C-alpha cells in the first residue's frame, strides 16, 4: 500500500527546546493532517492543512503543506513535558476516498523536564 515516511522515528529533547518533524510520500495528498497520540488513547487532531503551501499554527504548533503536495512538516516551539507522545501525519491520497486516511508510523517525542 501507499506509505508515508515520517522522520525522525524518535526524538529525545530537553524542555524548552524547539522540535521539527516531517512527513514525505511518493504520492500526492490533498489534505495533510497531524495527530498526537498519548499512551492508551486514540489520536487527537492537532492541525489540518488543505492547500499546497499553507502554513497553519495552533498555539506552539506550526505545520506546513509542502508545495509539491508530497510532504509536510510540524514544528513545536518551546516544548513542555506534556508534549510527550507519538505524532502522526496522515491524509487521504489524491484520487482516493476522502475518508480513507493513510497514516505514517509516527514520531515518538520524549521531553526531559
Partner 1 sequence: GAGVSQTPSNKVTEKGKYVELRCDPISGHTALYWYRQSLGQGPEFLIYFQGTGAADDSGLPNDRFFAVRPEGSVSTLKIQRTERGDSAVYLCASSLIPGANVLTFGAGSRLTVL
Distance CA 38, CA 54 (A): 27
By CB under 8 A, residue 41 contacts partner 1: yes
Distance CA 65, CA 97 (A): 19
**Piece in contact with partner 1 (CB under 8 A), picked from 11-19, 65-73, 77-85, 96-104:** 96-104
Nine-digit cell string for 105: 508510523
By CB under 8 A, residue 40 contacts partner 1: yes
Distance CA 44, CA 61 (A): 14
Tell which one of 2, 57, 68, 98 touches partner 1 (CB under 8 A): 98
Residues near partner 1, by CB under 8 A: 4, 31, 33, 40-45, 48, 88, 90-92, 97-106
Amino acid at each position: 500500500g501507499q506509505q508515508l515516511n515520517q522522520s525522525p522515528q524518535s526524538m529525545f529533547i530537553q524542555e524548552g527546546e524547539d522540535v521539527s518533524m516531517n512527513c514525505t510520500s511518493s504520492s500526492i495528498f490533498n489534505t495533510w493532517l497531524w495527530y498526537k497520540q498519548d499512551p492508551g488513547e486514540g489520536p487527537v487532531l492537532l492541525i489540518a492543512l488543505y492547500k499546497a503551501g499553507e502554513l497553519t499554527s495552533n498555539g506552539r504548533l506550526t505545520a506546513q503543506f509542502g508545495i509539491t503536495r508530497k510532504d509536510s512538516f510540524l514544528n513545536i516551539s518551546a516544548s513542555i513535558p506534556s508534549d510527550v507522545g507519538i505524532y502522526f501525519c496522515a491524509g487521504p491520497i489524491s484520487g482516493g476516498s476522502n475518508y480513507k486516511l493513510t497514516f505514517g508510523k509516527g514520531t515518538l517525542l520524549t521531553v526531559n523536564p
